[in-house]
Structure 1
Amino acid sequence: MQAVRLDGHGETDVIDYGEVPDPDVGRDDVLVDVKAGALNHLDVWTRRGLPGLDLEMPHVPGSDAAGVVVETGADVTRFEEGDRVAVSAGVFCGECEFCRDGDYPLCTSFHVLGEHVPGVHSELAAVPEDNLVPVPEHVDWETAAAAPLVFQTAWRMLVTRADVDPGESVLVLGASGGVGHAAVQIAKYAGAEVWATASTDEKLQYAEEIGADHVVNYESEDFARTIREETGKRGVDVVVDHVGEATWDDSLKSLAKGGRLVTCGATTGGKPETHVQRLFWNHLSVLGSTMATPGEVDDVLELVWDGTFDVRIRDVLPMSETARAHEALENREGFGKVVVKPDSEY
């Protein structure tokens, strides 16, 4: 079969599209005929080589995909040939103390399809049954592929970890990205007053279209100062920050007393300076979050499938142009997700 391949860690020249062996289907696996996949910043970090990441090369990347079941392992009970499915990429052991308590993202052996093990940007993908969700007939493949990772991540951040209440205020940084555009919609759904930042007026217009009440162009404005001024020096109750070093201090400055900063990533670096005095004096909370539980995935995707949430797609490319898709993410081009499709489906 044809698949996206990383021949090593580095720049986009390590990406190609070519032949790899068809996947083996284990007893708990489902073989999926992939119709579409989607990129995340996780793919960029995997390509560059996260610290401690030891992959067998060539490596097939990709954590988001959707397609049709063509074969099932002997122990599979939830799916059968012809079913429409999407991938939920978090893999849990189901046996550790955290899995037994139902808090699966804290699993001691948690790993992600496409990051720690072979991914799903290929014509065929063998995926554990527990990592698939049904996709209704009316949902197109691009939406089904692009939604799971970012919407589950944003849902857990805002609904579970930050526990946003109606009437609170939420600032979403990088609202044009996958997690960002999901977070804007989920914060609005939770009844919050939503602030959003982005780098261009066009992106800010899109953010307003999907629910942002206030927008800030961080290229031309100091967003922390703007937030303080526009809220009468109060600040916001919650900041969603997946940017990291470049925004960390301003994110903390933007919080009201008792506010919560929730983070799922650090695209600009993972070792920011923190003014500890600001943390304890203002009673701030910093909350980490990764992926979601199966129940949280079901809750948020139901709202995607019924149209409550809008999955914005900035571009659709053949998998042979995955290097171009990486460049679009790294250069912060457009608004929403980048989708890639097997060349045979494009």
Structure 2
Amino acid sequence: MTTMRALRLLADREVALVDAEPPPPPAPDEVQLRVRSVGLNHIDVWGFRGMAFAKRLYPLTVGAEAACEVVAAGADVTTLKPGDRVVPYSALTCGVCKACRRGRDNLCEDVRGVRGFHIDGFAQELTNHPARLAVPVPAGVDWHDAACVAVAYGTVEHMLFDNAALEPGETILVHAGGSGIGSIAIRIARSIGCTVITTVGSADKAAKAVALGADHVINYREDRFEGVVRKLTAKKGVDVVFEHTGADTWPGSLLCLKRGGRLVTCGATSGPIGSINLMQLFQQQYRIIGSFGAPLSALARGLERIASGVRPVIDTVYPLTAFRAGVDRLEHRDVFGKLLIDL
């Protein structure tokens, strides 16, 4: 291959499909990957807008989440071989700091950047990647489902179990049930026997959330969700709030928690500033947990969960040329489930 296709951000909000030079043979500790499918996420929206929170150089290949096939392995790689299917971990962690050694990769003390956000991402036909940061895909998991794992499914797995310690039989409020991570959270929580309450912004999304398995669906444009949740739980509140929308829902989310309840949050799409009544916090003994990304172990668990039948929700699969259309839909919340790009 003398050239390959790559989708590159040339400046803020300016993206183009270009012919690029393929990568060199992989280094001794790397694998060369053929990218099969790329998942779109809000991190792509932020990157597209220029909100990278760190210096970066243009042009920048987009795409932080992917499913890939190994086409070559470096001389020192013994765990992977050509033909293996993998999900590459998006953050280039150091692998040697205390957090990495303890399997808490998303707390790495020396990250070299997140692919597709700070450094070149996966929306290209071939790429090299550290072998230790590639998670094998189990049999029975297809390319599209695997392409949802590195950012979305792994994030939900980490939020629900590593952080919120969700247990069967508990009641959970999932905000934005039509989003990529919201739809995954509904499906996972239902699969372990939880009662799921979710919020959505339209009647169409409400019907889809019910079909997905949500026990109760609240259209937040028509009702105050906190009032409905209090009625549904006989004023006791929920065990867990799955929060990722930020300022607009923050006060109501706290009111929805039962005494000793847990709120786990990974996002702030409606704004990053929220207030809290400290007396409410300690008197009700709330546990508020911030969650960012996921460790490699959560990706592996997520892939096994998908293999068992708890699949992500796929909204639309686009060709490589339609990245802008997908980002526009994410910006306008015109989506139910995940958007993917096929290579």
TM-score range, shorter chain: over 0.9
Whole-angstrom distance in 2 between the partners of 1:257 and 1:20: 56
Which digits, 9 at most, give the CA deviation of each residue in 1:51-104, with x for residues without a partner? 632111101121111232212222222211122222232332222222233322
Partners of 1:249 and 1:275 within 8 A in 2:
no
Whole-angstrom distance in 2 between the partners of 1:292 and 1:170: 20
Match of 1:161 in 2: 163
Aligned pairs, number: 338
Whole-angstrom distance in 2 between the partners of 1:51 and 1:304: 31
Match of 1:48 in 2: 49
Match of 2:102 in 1: 101
Partners of 1:84 and 1:137 within 8 A in 2:
no
Give the 3 Å change call, closer, same or farther, for CA 107–76 of structure 1 in structure 2: same
Partners of 1:91 and 1:112 within 8 A in 2:
yes
Whole-angstrom distance in 1 between the partners of 2:53 and 2:141: 38
Match of 1:271 in 2: 273
Shift of 1:255: 0.9
Q: State the one-letter code of the partner of 1:304.
A: I
* 1:279 partner SS: helix
| 1:113 and 2:115 matched | yes
Which digits, 9 at most, give the CA deviation of each residue in 1:325-345, with x for residues without a partner? 101111111311111123xxx
Which digits, 9 at most, give the CA deviation of each residue in 1:107-146, with x for residues without a partner? 1124422222211011112122122222345433222212
With normalisation by structure 1, the TM-score equals 0.92
Match of 2:247 in 1: 245
* 1:112 partner SS: coil
Q: State the one-letter code of the partner of 1:266.
A: A
Partners of 2:139 and 2:307 within 8 A in 1:
no
* 1:7 partner SS: strand
* 2:128 partner SS: strand
Partners of 2:137 and 2:303 within 8 A in 1:
no
Whole-angstrom distance in 2 between the partners of 1:258 and 1:137: 40
The equivalent position to 1:257 in structure 2, one of 253, 256, 259, is 259
The equivalent position to 1:235 in structure 2, one of 234, 237, 240, is 237
Percent identity reads 37
Match of 1:318 in 2: 319
Match of 1:293 in 2: 295
Partners of 2:173 and 2:240 within 8 A in 1:
yes
| 1:122 and 2:120 matched | no
| 1:219 and 2:221 matched | yes
Shift of 1:242: 0.8
Match of 1:7 in 2: 10
Give the 3 Å change call, closer, same or farther, for CA 266–204 of structure 1 in structure 2: same
Shift of 1:238: 0.8
Which digits, 9 at most, give the CA deviation of each residue in 1:152-192, with x for residues without a partner? 11111111101112222110001111111111122223432
With normalisation by structure 2, the TM-score equals 0.93
Flag structure 1 segments of 5+ consecutive residues without an equivalent. Answer: none
Structure 1 stretches of at least 4 aligned residues deviating more than 4 Å after TM superposition: none
Shift of 1:208: 2.4
| 1:21 and 2:32 matched | no
Q: State the one-letter code of the partner of 1:15.
A: V
* 2:60 partner SS: coil
Shift of 1:26: 2.5
Q: State the one-letter code of the partner of 1:43.
A: D
Give the 3 Å change call, closer, same or farther, for CA 201–311 of structure 1 in structure 2: same
Q: State the one-letter code of the partner of 2:6.
A: A
Q: State the one-letter code of the partner of 2:304.
A: E
Partners of 1:37 and 1:62 within 8 A in 2:
yes
- 232-241 or 146-155, larger mean C-alpha shift: 146-155
Whole-angstrom distance in 2 between the partners of 1:246 and 1:147: 27
Q: State the one-letter code of the partner of 1:59.
A: L
* 1:164 partner SS: coil
Whole-angstrom distance in 2 between the partners of 1:257 and 1:270: 25
- 191-200 or 201-210, larger mean C-alpha shift: 201-210
Q: State the one-letter code of the partner of 1:5.
A: R
| 1:145 and 2:147 matched | yes
How big is the alpha-carbon RMSD for the aligned residues of Structure 1 and Structure 2?
1.7
Which digits, 9 at most, give the CA deviation of each residue in 1:4-61, with x for residues without a partner? 111122x3xx122112332243222211111211101111112222363211110112
Whole-angstrom distance in 1 between the partners of 2:138 and 2:145: 11
Flag structure 2 segments of 5+ consecutive residues without an equivalent. Answer: none
